[in-house]
Structure 1
Amino acid sequence: MSPQHIVVVGAGQGGLQATISLRHAGYAGRLTLIGAEPGLPYQRPPLSKAYLKEGRAEALMLRPQSFFESKDIAYLPQTTVEGIDRGAGEIAFHGPDGKGRLPYDHLVLATGTRNLRPPIEGLEHACDLRTLADAETLRTRLGTPRRIAVIGGGFIGLEFAAVARGLGHEVAVIEAAPRLMARCVSARMSEHFADLHRGMGTALHLGTPAVAVDAGGVTLGDGSHLAADFTLLAAGVVPNAELAAEAGLEVENGVRLCGRLLTSDPQISALGDCASFPDPRDGQRIRLESVQAATDHARFIAARLSKGGEDHYAALPWFWSDQADSKLQIAGFAGPGTSEVVICDGVVARLDDRGLVAVETVNNAGIHMKSRRLLSGGTPAGLDDLVQIAA
C-alpha cells in the first residue's frame, strides 16, 4: 500500500526528480517538496560553467511554478527542516511564515552536501561556489580583470578556473594532493588536464596545501604567498547528514542506506550526495557526488514507493566535467586500488581484480556511451571487451 503523504526534504535535482517520478508512476497521494533556498528548483552543474559566462538564471530553472500546480505538489521554498520526530511521523520546520510541524507517511531525505571548510586560517576572505547566489557574486567579480586563486583542484575548482582563464583573468590553482582530481580520475587523466590548464596559462601549485587566506591572496604550506584579488574555496564537500543523525538514523559517510535505498527506519529513504549505499558491483559502501546518481536514486525510490517490489538499486554511475574545450566523461566508478590502462588517446580503462570497473574519456561521447552499455551488462566486462568497442 502506497503511503498517503510523502515529504521530500531537499529541492535539488534529486529531490525534485523524486516528486516528478512519483507522479509519473501514478502516485496520487499528498506530495510535499521542501527546499531551503528561495525560488524554484534549479540546476547546479552550470553554476561553475555556463552561468558564469552567460548569467541566465532563467535557463537554470528545472520546472516552472505551473508544474507544481498542475501536478498537485506542495512546494515550500526558503524552508528549513529542523528535526524529525520518527515516533510521531512528523517533521519540524521553519519557513517564511514561522515554525510548524508536518506529518508524513514516508520521508525522503535529499539534503545534499555543503562546502568543506578545511583548517585554513582566514576563510572569511574566500568565496564559495555552491548556490545560485554564490555564482552571482562570482560573476560580478569576474567583470573586471583580476588575479584569482582557486583552492582545490577537483571538478568545481577546475571548471571555474577554465572559465576565469578564458575570460582573461590571471588564475592559480592550489591543490594539496600531488595531482589534479586525484580522488576521481586516473593519473593519466590528471596529467592530461594538468597539461590543458597549464597550456591555458593557469599556474598549478600541486602537493602544497593552502594554510591561510587574506585580503591579498593565499599563503601556502611552504611559506610562499600567492597574490590574488579574490580566492575561491573549492576544496570538496561534506554530506548534510546531521538531520538524520539527530533523529537516530544510522550514519556512515552520509546517511546509511541498504540496497533498496532505505535508511535504518523503513519509513525514511534517502538519495543523492547525502547518502551512502552498497556498490551494486562489490557491496562496498560508496557515496556518489553526482547529479545522475541523485536522479537515478530518485527514480528507484519513486518506483518502490508507488509500485512496491523487492529489487535492489543497481544503476551504473556516470560523471562528467566540462573544462574549456575538453569534456571529461566517466562511465562506472573506480575506487582506491584500481589499475589503469591507456586504450588510446583520451580513453583510459580502470580495472580491479574482477575486471573493468570504469572508463574515462575526453571528447569521445561514442566510446563513453558504448562503455556505459558494456558496464551495464549482466556479465563482468574485461579489458579486451573495451578494446573491441574502442577499435
Structure 2
Amino acid sequence: MKFTDSVILQNKSRVLFTAGFLAVLICSGLVFGFCAPWAKADPSAKVQFTADTIASLSGISDGDLYIAQNSECDSLTVSGSTLTVSNIPDGLNFILKTPQHDSTLKISPSGGSIGLTFSSSDFAASTGTVSQWTLDGSGSTQVAHTIGVPKANTWYEIKIGGALFDSFESSASGEVSFTYNGGFSSKVFSLAEEGDDIIVLKKNKTHRLDSGVTLTLKKNKITLQEKKADLARGIVQIYQDDNLKENRRINRRGRWRADIKEKSRSALHSYYFRYLNSEGQEISISDIYDVLTDVVKPVFISLPKRVNASPGDTIEWQASDNDRVSYYKITFRGKKSISSQNSFALPASIPKGKSKLTVRVYDRAGNMAVRRARIRAR
C-alpha cells in the first residue's frame, strides 16, 4: 500500500473501496484518487486511512515513513519531497509513523481543524524522526503533539518560528508530548535536543550576553542594560517572544536601560534586540537569546525523617521542581558529595548508632530545598 508522488487525495462523496479497486474523480480539471484498501471517505468530509500506507516522498526510501492507520483529513497531496495535509478534523488524529516510532509525528487538533506540511528534508531515516513541520489554522485551535525522538529521558526544545516555546523531557519510550494553544495562523515548529544555549538567570546575579547586553534578575523584574557608543541618541527595540516589548532611547553617552516585569515566578522567554540610529534607520538585529527566570524552590516528595538501615544499604528519596531537578548535595557524617542520583549508599564502615544525613536539592536556577534524616545503623 503506497501513497505516491503527484497524487491528490480528497473526499467528495461516501465511498468505501475494496481491494484492488481504484476510483478517480475528475472535477474542475483536478484529479482526486482513492486507492483501496487503504483509504475510505465518509459523509463528514474526511479521508480515513484504514491501513498503514507508505508515504513515497523523494529523498525517503519506501518503507521508511508511513501514514498510520486511522489517520484522517479532508485532503492530502504528495508532491516531490513535500506532504501537504488539509484540514485534520477537530478531535481526530493524523499520524506519521516509522519502523522506530508508532508516533513519529502525531497531530491532534481541538477546537478547530488544522493543516500540516512536512518535507522529507526534515526527516532522519536512521532514527525515524522529524525535526520540523508547519501547521496552518485559525483562531484558538489547540493542537496536541506526540513526537518520536532519538533518545529516551532526554530534554528537547520546541521552537516556533525560531523562538523557544518550551523544553520537554522525552519519555522512557522516546516520545515528547505537548499541546500548543497560543493562537494560529501559519506556524513553523522545530525540535532539537536541548543544548547549553538556554540562559538561566539567577536571582541578584548579572549575566552578560555575547552582544554586550547585561541581564539582572531582581524580584519580579529583569533589568537590561548596554553601552552602544556608536548609536548615541538612537533607539533599541526589545522583542520578547517575537513581540515588541519595549522601545528605549539610547542616551547621548550611548547607554540604555530597561526593566521588564515578569509576573510569573517561573518563565521561559526568547529575546532579541533591534537597533536604530538617530534617524530611525535599522542598523542591526541581534541573535535570539532564550532566557529562563525561575525563583520557585524544588520540593521533597519523600525522605523519611528516621531510617533504620544497615551498612551498605541505599537510602532513596524523591524530589520535584517546576522546571527540573539539577543535582543534589549530600552530607553524611561530615563528608560532602554531589550527585545527580536521588539515592545515597551508606558506607560499609559506618558504626552502629545514629548518624545524620542532609540532602540539598538544586534546580538549574540555583533554587534549593533541604531535608534531613536520622539514620540508625543496625
Question: Which TM-score bucket, shorter chain as reference?
Answer: under 0.3
Q: Kindly name which structure, 1 or 2, has the bigger radius of gyration based on alpha carbons.
A: 2
Greater percentage in helix: 1
Which has the larger share of strand? 2
Structure scoring higher RCO (CA < 8 A, sep ≥ 6) equals 1
So what's the TM-score if we normalise by structure 1?
0.23
